[in-house]
Structure 1
Amino acid sequence: MRPDSALVAHVAATTGLTAAEAARVVEDVLAYHAEPVEDYVRRRHTELQTYGAKNPEIFAQIAAELATRLVAAPRLSERQLRRIVYT
């Protein structure tokens, strides 16, 4: 996907990056936020588990994180989060 040229121009103008550098930054940010909700939930669950967090606190933290993502994910219950992780 090619990033919006107006956004690339804005990033280049406000950061001092070249147009090519700004395009790469915009592409990276868009790719980061294009991660499907299910993939994000599974990845974060694994990361948080690695540091010793338990499921109740993990699911609460993931739900809070999803609410603040740039492209807002739907509200997911703990049960829905569990289904994503364990299916």
Structure 2
Amino acid sequence: MNISLATVLKKDLIKTDPSVELFAYSGRCMYGKRTIALSGNFSVSCIWKLIIKNRNEIEGFIKLEDIDIKHDKFGLGTIVY
């Protein structure tokens, strides 16, 4: 995930879930390569809603059609990257 995108999303997510974290993550089939990820108690659809809500700011650094969100669920939380 683009670090600028992650920062915008975290700014909104942290309002309702102060446990949201931004960190380097190596997901499934990434073979050790790292990317920026967000973890917390939210859904992937919540992430897309925030992207649409903040689209004017986000489109300043990445086209919406270029955003490729992947996710994993571990226990009670979700990781998007």
TM-score, normalization by structure 1: 0.30
Which of the pair is proportionally richer in strand?
2
Rg larger for: 1
Of structures 1 and 2, the one scoring higher in RCO (CA 8 A, sep 6+) is 2
